[in-house]
Structures are given as structure tokens and as C-alpha cells.
């Protein structure tokens, strides 16, 4: 069992930056691939970024590529999402997810555990 707790969300102006953190419980964090998803009001949940268990592989949605960076610190049981040059359309609840897998995954169904989400609001 893995519990995930996101933090770092907030209100930021367009063009600004935020760093989200996701703290995971459990001693087997490093065996999980991790991902970030988001859901805007009235829209379906969408993939944002993913990272393999070692951090050696990452994958991004086209909409965030070049602006967002996913990383992980296995000794700290934490995964991060650095978000730069934020746009109003990045406004959403951001969710951290864990998949008991060695590889990167981009669909929600492949993830086993989810956090409660953190709100990111980008004003224009």
C-alpha cells in the first residue's frame, strides 16, 4: 500500500512558476513508476508527466513539454513537478499517481495509487 500526498499548489500569474511535491509513504517507493495528471473543471483527467522508478526515463504531454519537468528523489520518497511559464489553461487540480511498474506509463488505468490532488490556478 502506498499513500501519496501532494503539496505546492496555489495561485500564480501567467508566466510564473510553481513546484509541486508528492510525498509517498512506504519503503518500496523506488519500485514504483510515478506520474502527474490534472483535471480542469468540466474536463476529463489528462496525463501531464511520468517518470520511471530510477528517474532515467521521463515522458511529457505535448502541452507541457519544454515547460514542465518531472523528477524524483527516491531516498526522500518524493516526486516533483516543476512548472515554468504557466498558462491560464494549466489551471487544474493536479494529482500524483504511483504504478507498481519499472516503466513509464501515460494512462490513468495503469496507475495503482492516487493522491488527493492539489489545486493550481493560473491567472491571466
Asked if 96 and 36 touch (Cβ cutoff 8 Å), the reply is yes
* Residue 19, number of CB atoms within 10 A of its CB: 13
Of 41, 45, 46, 40, nearest in space to 64 by CA: 46
Report residue 61 as a C-alpha cell: 504531454
User: Can you give the pLDDT at residue 75?
Assistant: 92
> Measured between alpha carbons, how far is residue 12 from residues 8, 83, 98, 111, 121 in Å?
11, 11, 27, 29, 6
User: Which residues of the chain are under the pLDDT cut of 70?
Assistant: none
Amino acid at each position: 500500500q502506498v499513500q501519496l500526498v501532494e503539496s505546492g499548489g496555489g495561485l500564480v500569474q501567467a508566466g510564473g512558476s510553481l513546484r509541486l511535491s508528492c510525498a509517498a509513504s512506504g519503503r518500496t517507493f523506488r519500485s514504483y513508476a510515478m506520474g502527474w495528471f490534472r483535471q480542469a473543471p468540466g474536463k476529463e483527467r489528462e496525463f501531464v508527466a511520468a517518470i520511471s522508478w530510477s528517474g532515467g526515463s521521463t515522458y511529457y504531454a505535448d502541452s507541457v513539454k519544454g515547460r514542465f519537468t518531472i523528477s524524483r528523489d527516491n531516498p526522500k520518497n518524493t516526486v516533483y513537478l516543476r512548472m515554468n511559464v504557466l498558462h491560464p489553461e494549466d489551471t487544474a487540480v493536479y494529482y500524483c499517481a504511483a504504478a507498481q511498474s519499472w516503466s513509464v506509463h501515460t494512462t490513468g488505468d495503469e496507475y495503482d495509487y492516487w493522491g488527493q490532488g492539489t489545486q493550481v490556478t493560473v491567472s491571466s
